[in-house]
Chains A and B, each alone.
Chain A
Amino acid sequence: MTQTTPDAPVRRQRAQIKVRTLRTDRWWIAPLLTFLALTAFLVYGVWAILDGSYFIDPYIAPFSSPCLSTSCVEGARLFGWAPIGDWYTLPPGLLILGLPGGFRLTCYYYRKSYYRSFWLSPPACAVQEPHGKYTGETRFPLIMQNIHRYFFYAAILIGAILSYDAILAMVHKPQGLGSWILLVNAVLIVAYTLSCHSCRHITAGRLNHFSKHPLRYKAWTFVSKLNAKHQPLAWASMFSVMGADLYVRLVAKGIIAFPFA
């Protein structure tokens, strides 16, 4: 008979269940779909950054906006401005890629999704992860996730620029399908950006006395409502930015050429 005194070694043991999980549902579908979707986004992003067809008046592809170097086509430059000058000859998208990319990479939702689907840490709830050791976000490089708020500040700027691009397209070509696609994309990007957990913290989450800051509390309440939709907004804005970018490039290449494109 096994000893059962509190000090007996066996009393300090968990149930010795030898399988990784006893879950009977298809728990692997969600991480698999996430893996495929995020991989598709990364592959598309690499192609788009290297692709030269990023502008056709009045549309600019979101992956290449703002276009800041002299190598940018005249109409594609933000306010006609080229602060980077002519020394920069690489694709213009490479210059700004780190800002929206970093925002998504350090986003609390995307962290969950790629920790689960790429790093399998864990692949799903109550499914054992394959790693022997785990230190989470306590060390470099993952401790750098704490700078998410700085990417949020940059993402606000990017969101404003994409909105400006969309408004400009609407003004110059209100009948164009591309103008509407860029507008929907800008709305989703801005909504995703504002629904960010760092934004929620900055508006008033850091306060302990909401009653002393009624305006900030109101803003926090609004952001909290958006924040509850952070996951769907993350996906919607990811597909919309990919879709809008591809659309502009296809129009620029002449592959899409109907009258109201």
Chain B
Amino acid sequence: MEILKSATAGTLESSDALVTVEPGEGIELELSSSVINQYGRQIRATILETLDRLQVQNARVTVVDKGALDCTLKARVECAVFRSCGKSASNIPWGGVIR
């Protein structure tokens, strides 16, 4: 998917993450997390895998993590990407690229 415009998803509540995607060159990930020392690598891997699954090749991605589970991180990244393409409201490929 191509990141057409800047979009965000999520919140700064505990167990959540705020994800922002913007148009960019290649994948540029800026991550801050309340549990960066414990889970930083895992969080980064989950975000990058999700972007890869959605075939996002060019994006500037900012994630402020507040201790989100992997399933929440995935949901927030996916929603931000679909929002940036204006496709988040209907006909989502549940079980396809969303899995």
Task: Decide if A and B are genuine partners.
Answer: no
